[in-house]
Structure 1
Amino acid sequence: MLILVIGLVVFFCVHSVRLFAPNWRETSMGQGKNGVMRWHMRFGLLTLLATAFIVMGYMQMRVEPIWLWFPPVWTRHLAGLLVLVALFFVGSALVPNTSMKQKMGYPLLIGIKIWAFAHLISNGTVADVMIFGSFLVWSIVSFAVYRRRDRKTGVVYVTSDESSVPSNLLAFVFAMISWFTIVFYLHEAVIGVSPLV
């Protein structure tokens, strides 16, 4: 459990800098490409290290799982559908000029919310609650803080127009390809559990 906790703490500390110190990232980058590159390298290495700890800790806790509840089978099917929706929001964050980005500003955080909720309802061990519960809380808090800051600074979110249709289609294609890749290969390869079982 300690490895999992360390991984989660490092991950959320790294990804919460903008919540508590909005300008610290830009200050740390400094000027020039070298500063930006160093920042991204450090950020990426810490994220990779934290993710590795989370996966290792989760795998250790799966050996002797502590069950809090036993989710019914239908929650797995619902989770599969919700993850597809979550991936669409992730695609909407990656692709420029999508409707979700124009309307909500932070579709990636919405995607993380849905992803975490989907896994939380379909898994019932302590490790699952630690991982997906913490991601759900973090994404909810982050979304609320960023939207509040936007309101204070006068950021206005607009309704989508016809120019966003190609971007929305690209986000949908991203979601479908990612979903099939995860369901049929990546999830089992990385986590050791097939969503199809």
Structure 2
Amino acid sequence: MTLLILGILLWVAGHFFKRALPGLHDSLGPAAKGVSAVVILAGVVLMVIGYRGAYTDLAFVPPSWGIHLNNLLMLLAVYLYAASGTKARLATRMRHPQLTAVKTWAVAHLLVNGDWASVVLFGSLLAWAVAEVIVINRSNRDWTPPEWGGRTAEIRALAGTAIVFAVIAGIHAWLGYWPFPG
């Protein structure tokens, strides 16, 4: 569990670096993005290793219907993330589609994973995404919605969602976590 928690802390530190230490961030110039990326990547690696190695008791028994809602929420999460990159209509109507995707992803995974390692991982990333939205909104109150990318953006977002969802499901199956009922 120690590696998992360290990974979460690195993830949060890498994402808040610019706002928590603006002087240091600015003094690094263009290298600041690289430093943040390395810290975040190290956090992801430690989270994966820590999560896979953590054996913990159940915090709660997930509901039997949770897997169905999980898959529906995961489709939504992947779509939100894809829509933000393509400027699909939904992404032009919400300020933080990627962070909303992370929050949706975290809630979806809490529905199907009742062990303490999952509660720590997904609960922490949910809390981070909520905090990130609050910090961004407070530091930059003005928001101009991006222009809609047209029908092409919608098609790309839907195609990207289908491909990425299939890849995610394949990776889960490869790791031994069958993501579908039955």
**Shorter-chain TM-score category?**
0.7 to 0.9
Aligned-pair distance for 1:28?
4.1
What CA distance in whole angstroms lies between the structure 1 residues aligned with 2:84 and 2:23?
Answer: 22
The equivalent position to 2:73 in structure 1, one of 82, 103, 119, is 82
**Contact kept in structure 1, 2:103 and 2:129, CA below 8 Å:** yes
Aligned residues: 181
Listed as ranges, the matches of 1:28-177 within 5 Å are: 28-30=27-29, 36=30, 38-61=31-54, 64-95=55-86, 97-151=87-141, 154-157=142-145, 163-177=149-163
Q: Which residue does 1:194 correspond to in 2?
A: 178
Q: 1:45 to 1:188 in 2, by over 3 A?
A: farther
**Contact kept in structure 2, 1:5 and 1:54, CA below 8 Å:** yes
- Structure 1: where are the runs of 5+ without partners? 31-35
What CA distance in whole angstroms lies between the structure 2 residues aligned with 1:146 and 1:21?
Answer: 15
- Structure 2: where are the runs of 5+ without partners? none
Aligned-pair distance for 1:45?
2.5
Aligned-pair distance for 1:192?
3.6
Q: 1:86 to 1:23 in 2, by over 3 A?
A: farther
Task: Name the % identity.
Answer: 26
Secondary structure of the structure 2 residue equivalent to 1:182: helix
What CA distance in whole angstroms lies between the structure 2 residues aligned with 1:49 and 1:131?
Answer: 15
Aligned-pair distance for 1:22?
6.0
What CA distance in whole angstroms lies between the structure 2 residues aligned with 1:105 and 1:24?
Answer: 28
**Contact kept in structure 1, 2:95 and 2:143, CA below 8 Å:** no
Q: Which residue does 1:6 correspond to in 2?
A: 6
Aligned-pair Cα RMSD in Å: 2.2
